[in-house]
Amino acid sequence: MDREMIVDAVSKRFEDGTTALDGVSLEFARGEFAAIVGPSGCGKTTLLRILAGLEEPTSGHVELAAGGGRRDHMAMVFQEQSIYPWMRVRENVAVGLHGLGLALAAARAKVEEQLDLVGLRAFAGAFPHQLSGGMKQRVSIARAFASERRVLLMDEPFAALDEQTKIGLHGELLRIWEHTRKTVVFITHGIEESVVLADRVYVMTGRPGRIHARVDVPFSRPRDVVALRGDPEFGRLVVHVWGLLREGMAA
């Protein structure tokens, strides 16, 4: 498989002396859906921000097969409310198109297409304060997919949502992803979530964050995010990841 991105011995020390990441090395294949799970405060958000080019590592580096700057290839979906409250839904999605140099008509078509994919066409003219939490995250996802960037970085995008909305969005995310097969790095502390979504799950240790283990998820695509939960193999994997996580915290 083609390589998309190599993370080579990335460490991050903050000014106050705490070490968030200690020698993290990872390899992402093109079109792979990777999840990173770890205890809270293990530096996984810091890792994602480094991948996104929002922060620089203290040592080590991130290498992209496509070359060029990280920020040109990464589309980020943030954990908290990150769509602009002063823009309508359609303008928020269009933020993802910034710098693509599309003509107005093409940009409009692209936005409509993304809104259709996340089922928000009827809300194109709405402001974020008129939307539910789940809808806001769908706008954020549409913005990221609209950007046509190669790698999608997702930082616990569903953490603030209730269980039903979350499972609904898992299905939607996978459905949209099947269309594009972008490379995805998905950060979460939800073990089930990581197994439902990802091809590969990386387990991190507590602070300072290191990669403790890698688990391959064998389920075929496309996946049914509800039926999958009834699969005995699913339960076995969840328990396995749990065990690794506990080991990592003790380490």
Binding residues vs another protein (CB under 8 A): 52-54, 71-72, 74-76, 78, 80-87, 95-96, 98-99, 127-129, 143, 147
CB closer to another protein out of 71 and 236: 71
Q: Which residue has the tokens 């998820």?
A: 217
What pairs with residue 29 in β-bridges? 3
In whole angstroms, how close is the CB of 213 to another protein at the nearest point? 29
Neighbouring C-beta atoms of residue 8, cutoff 10 Å: 15
Q: Which amino acid is present at 147?
A: S
In whole angstroms, how close is the CB of 17 to another protein at the nearest point? 22
CB closer to another protein out of 92 and 205: 92
In whole angstroms, how close is the CB of 124 to another protein at the nearest point? 15
Question: What residues contact 247, with CB distance under 8 A and at least 6 apart?
Answer: 212, 213
Q: Which two tokens stand for residue 12?
A: 């991050």
**Greatest distance between any 2 Cα atoms in the chain:** 55
Q: Which amino acid is present at 210?
A: R
Question: What residues contact 11, with CB distance under 8 A and at least 6 apart?
Answer: 19, 21, 22, 23, 24, 57, 58, 59, 60
Rounded to an integer, what distance in angstroms lies between the CA atom of residue 99 and that of residue 163? 36
CB closer to another protein out of 53 and 60: 53
Peptide bond into 232 cis (omega under 30): no
In whole angstroms, how close is the CB of 96 to another protein at the nearest point? 6
Q: Is 185 left (phi over 0), alpha (psi -120 to 50) or beta?
A: beta
CB closer to another protein out of 133 and 243: 133
In whole angstroms, how close is the CB of 99 to another protein at the nearest point? 4
In whole angstroms, how close is the CB of 149 to another protein at the nearest point? 9
Question: Interior CA angle at 187 toward 11 and 112, to 5°?
Answer: 125
CB closer to another protein out of 153 and 215: 153
